[in-house]
Amino acid sequence: MINLSQERRFRNVILVACVLIICGIYVSLTNGTFDLSAADVIRTLLRIHPTKEYDLVIFDFRLPRILIGALVGFGLGIAGAVLQGITKNPLADPGILGIHAAAGASVVIGMFLFHGTFKGSSWMAVMTMPMFGWIGGIAAVVLLYMFARRHGEFDPERLILVGIALGSGFGALTIFISLKMNPQDFEMATVWLSGSIYSATWKHVVTTLPWIVILVPIIWRRAYILDIMQLGEISLKGVGVQPNKERQILLLCCVGLVSACVAVSGSIGFVGLIAPHIARRLVGIHYKYIVPACGLIGMLMVIIGDLIGKTIFAPAQLPVGIVISIIGVPYFLYLLYQARKR
């Protein structure tokens, strides 16, 4: 049962997370190579005596980057919660299913086959990369369906093992294709694969937003199923739920979120691993609360990670994927240590 204290704690966590996200957005908007004051930002956003310089900095460079980081963090955080729920593995991460690697390999193949296509700013150029990313994600889930089933049903342990194998295979394919690319495309592919959002545009935001809007409500409506999944297959069948069907639906939603995010930002790891653990510590074990909390925590992680990457190392810019990995690796080792003690 969900008591009033849990409800109150959830609301407090959401409120604090939203305040921190707003603070992160404010600092990211006002700080950079070209510093702005709060008054400059407010006047530009409200269109009070706007200037071309401020419009260029805010609307063309900083705001799309912040929004795409927020969407990517939101999607990856929720995908991580879903994956840990359906596999019953607290160390699971969207990358562990091989979806990150498959989408990355697919985009690199696209870069190799269509030299220079991804350098344009047209709608066709912006849509090409997500299309290849989604093809890679679909390929990963098809292979998961083929090899992670036992007696017609998903085996959570086999799902993890197959995902690790797929990740290794697609990672090797990415390296092989990258070595065949020309220096310019190779440099672009390397930066993208490290998890970077510094070249985000409004078109990237438009291509990612529909996936978040469609898939997240589907996941949230099935939060109670994720709760029951923690009890076992017998409990699921006892309440009239088809575990195999529901697991497939949730897995497809997870694949859609991860593929859409990877297509526009590259491989940003550890968000899907860390966000669910923090959420469970803050709001409890009910997925009705974990799902939105994971989304906001993931959003905050990517926004702050991108802010750190573009300010602390200025004038150089460190991709957000590397910044989060620097934080995520020690935390992952800590989780392994905690799991070993149990």
**Cβ atoms 13, 283 nearer than 8 A:** yes
φ/ψ of 282, rounded to 5, equals -90, -40
Q: Is the pLDDT of residue 31 over 90?
A: no
pTM: 0.88
DSSP 117: G
| pLDDT for the residue numbered 120 | 46
Tens digit of each residue's pLDDT (9 = 90 or more) over 277-298 = 999 989 988 999 999 999 999 9
As a whole number, mean pLDDT of residues 77-95 equals: 85
Separation between Cα atoms, residue 305 and residue 28, nearest integer Å: 11
- Count of residues in the chain: 342
Long-range contacts of 303-306 (CB under 8 A, 24+ apart): 303/21, 303/24, 303/25, 303/28, 303/66, 303/69, 303/70, 303/73, 304/24, 306/28, 306/65, 306/66, 306/69, 306/197, 306/198
Give the pair of three-digit tokens for residue 40. 């400059």
Query: Which CATH number describes the domain made up of 4-341?
Result: 1.10.3470.10
Q: What is the 3-state secondary structure (H, E, C) of 52-91?
A: HHHHHHHHHHHHHHHHHHHHHHHHHHHHHHHHHHHHCCCC
As a whole number, mean pLDDT of residues 188-207 equals: 79
Separation between Cα atoms, residue 186 and residue 174, nearest integer Å: 11
What is the residue extent of each domain of the chain? 4-341
Q: Is the pLDDT of residue 127 over 70?
A: no
The contacts of residue 43 (CB under 8 Å, 6+ apart) are 49, 50, 54
Separation between Cα atoms, residue 143 and residue 154, nearest integer Å: 13
Separation between Cα atoms, residue 52 and residue 150, nearest integer Å: 61
330 vs 68: which has the higher pLDDT = 68
